[in-house]
Chain A
Amino acid sequence: MTGLGLVSPAGIGVPANWARVCSGESTASTDPDLAGIMVDFSCRVPGFDAEALLGRKHARRLDRFVQLAVVAAREAIADAGLDPESWDGGRVGVVLGCGMGGSSTWETQHRRLLEHGPGKVSPMLIPMLVPNMVAGQLAMEFGATGPNLVTATACASGATAIGVARDLLRSGACDIMLTGGTEAGVTPLSIAGFAQMGALSTRRDDPASASRPFDVARDGFVAAEAAGILVLERPEDARARGARAHAHIAGYGASADGFHQTAPDPEGRGAEQAIRAALADAGVAPSEIGHVNAHGTSTPLNDVAEARVLRRVLGEGVAVTSTKGVTGHALGGAGAIEAAYTVLAIEHGQIPPTANLDSQDPEIDLDIVAKSPREQHLELAMSDSFGFGGQNAVLVVSAG
């Protein structure tokens, strides 16, 4: 992994992200766009000015989930020291995760249909809405004309994409992969839908305390928007061009619960299967994993089910954190930004704390990093992601 780009509630750019995630300070606040919705707070990217960052045309013709990804991709490619002007674009593939696509475009144009009739619907509705457009847009931006697709495994989409990208690289189909995930699904209809499921925290009076993974008083997740982009190359190729590797994607495991539309299997069998597959793929023993960036959504069901599996498979020695306490839950972007934070934890030898963990749920028997970052040398770490639909994706990351 030679390049990294992040646009999330923790900031625009990798340095801003890492500083905020390590601060353990939540980014959730009241969201004027959600006024009148039963849950009216979220985690937004601070100061994202699409017109200033991307120009007026992109600001108008790209949905926000694509805009976030384009900005993150620029950072990742520059970080990798690659120049799209000179690369062999046919060997550059794009695999990104996205759970929903252009929700805000969908909702805005549906309102136009109802209020003004079908003749007023924008011709940009479909090109702005379809989730695969983000991968198509990166191909246009950077002349990356190799295999190009978007994975949809809900909240695991970003992690699934990274695993699939790694496999494409390994197969020899591409030499460079732009991968990761993006989501900008904080829109009134989506949030009303998640709220009606009972999935969201309802701490309207104190949004900053709402995302509290593994805490006994957690009551749901806080929706966020974010994009995380990684540049992957085969280690030998990166070495040959003298590029610095942040880390290696050493293992990937995927599975399905086959259990329920939204609830995790309480026994965590699907999650365990994916974790074991990722460990086997990396060729490492469970006890070698020093740190897990957990899915840790802050929902009552997820955190306890996930904790049981982690304890059972990895034992008690592993330092676990959920960066969702700071960033909220960026749905299809979550797996990607969390893979990035896992890489940064290894690079910096520092594990970010879980925000708002005041009183750990007694049912959760894990070493959760809380309050302040923990200095710890790491060789191997894991990031796990679980999607509605029962889809599980687990990445093992090793030092570069």
Chain B
Amino acid sequence: MSDVYDRVKELLTDKFGVPEEDIRLEATFEDLDLDSLDLVEFALATEEELGVGISDDEAAELETLADTVKLLESKGATV
């Protein structure tokens, strides 16, 4: 998929210790063993690395990584 997905993948493996083989577009945060605190940290990380944050309201709507990538792209994430 997109460059944004590649960067998200990288963040999840490098910063959050998610095994690369678990990362799929249809995976939920729960599938990846990430809780609500991880999600807040993930939002801080996207802001730092991709220049686009995720608000609490937006985070509440996210189900899968595909949703996440779509949201980041729609907000103009740059890689």
User: Hey, which bits of chain A sit against chain B, CB under 8 A?
Assistant: 55-57, 59-60, 120, 122-124, 127
Question: Is B10's beta carbon under 8 Å from chain A?
Answer: no
A-B CB contact pairs (8 Å), 19 listed: A55-B17, A56-B16, A56-B17, A57-B16, A57-B17, A57-B33, A59-B17, A60-B15, A60-B16, A60-B17, A120-B44, A122-B41, A122-B44, A123-B37, A123-B40, A123-B41, A124-B37, A124-B41, A127-B37
CB-based nearest A residue for B34: A57
Contacts of B44 in A (CB 8 A): 120, 122
Contacts of A57 in B (CB 8 A): 16-17, 33
CB-based nearest A residue for B14: A56
CB-based nearest B residue for A121: B44
Inter-chain contact total with CB atoms closer than 8 Å? 19
- In the assembled complex, the Cα of A55 lies from the Cα of B18 at a distance in Å of 11
- In the assembled complex, the Cα of A57 lies from the Cα of B16 at a distance in Å of 7
Contacts of A60 in B (CB 8 A): 15-17
Interface residue tally of chain B, by bracket?
under 10
CB B50 to nearest CB in A, in angstroms, measures 15
Contacts of A127 in B (CB 8 A): 37
- In the assembled complex, the Cα of A60 lies from the Cα of B37 at a distance in Å of 12
CB A61 to nearest CB in B, in angstroms, measures 8
- In the assembled complex, the Cα of A59 lies from the Cα of B44 at a distance in Å of 19
- In the assembled complex, the Cα of A59 lies from the Cα of B15 at a distance in Å of 10
Contacts of A56 in B (CB 8 A): 16-17
CB A306 to nearest CB in B, in angstroms, measures 44
Considering only residues 14-43 of chain B, those with a C-beta below 8 Å from chain A are 15-17, 33, 37, 40-41
Chain B 38-78 against A: per-residue CB contact (8 Å), 1 yes, 0 no?
Answer: 00110010000000000000000000000000000000000
CB A166 to nearest CB in B, in angstroms, measures 35
- In the assembled complex, the Cα of A123 lies from the Cα of B44 at a distance in Å of 10
CB B47 to nearest CB in A, in angstroms, measures 8
8 new A-B contacts at CB < 8 Å, known A60-B17, A122-B41: A55-B17, A60-B15, A60-B16, A120-B44, A123-B40, A123-B41, A124-B37, A124-B41
CB-based nearest B residue for A127: B37
Contacts of A124 in B (CB 8 A): 37, 41
- In the assembled complex, the Cα of A156 lies from the Cα of B60 at a distance in Å of 45
CB-based nearest A residue for B44: A120
CB A119 to nearest CB in B, in angstroms, measures 8
CB A384 to nearest CB in B, in angstroms, measures 41
- In the assembled complex, the Cα of A341 lies from the Cα of B37 at a distance in Å of 39
CB A112 to nearest CB in B, in angstroms, measures 10
CB B9 to nearest CB in A, in angstroms, measures 15
CB-based nearest A residue for B37: A123
CB A46 to nearest CB in B, in angstroms, measures 24
- In the assembled complex, the Cα of A56 lies from the Cα of B17 at a distance in Å of 5
CB B56 to nearest CB in A, in angstroms, measures 11
CB-based nearest B residue for A112: B44
- In the assembled complex, the Cα of A367 lies from the Cα of B37 at a distance in Å of 54
Contacts of A59 in B (CB 8 A): 17
- In the assembled complex, the Cα of A57 lies from the Cα of B12 at a distance in Å of 11
Contacts of B41 in A (CB 8 A): 122-124
Contacts of B37 in A (CB 8 A): 123-124, 127
- Top 8 A-B pairs, shortest CB-CB distance: A56-B17, A123-B40, A123-B37, A57-B17, A123-B41, A124-B37, A122-B41, A60-B17
CB-based nearest A residue for B13: A56
- In the assembled complex, the Cα of A127 lies from the Cα of B35 at a distance in Å of 13
CB-based nearest A residue for B43: A123
- In the assembled complex, the Cα of A55 lies from the Cα of B17 at a distance in Å of 8
CB B51 to nearest CB in A, in angstroms, measures 14
Contacts of A120 in B (CB 8 A): 44
Contacts of A55 in B (CB 8 A): 17
CB B3 to nearest CB in A, in angstroms, measures 24
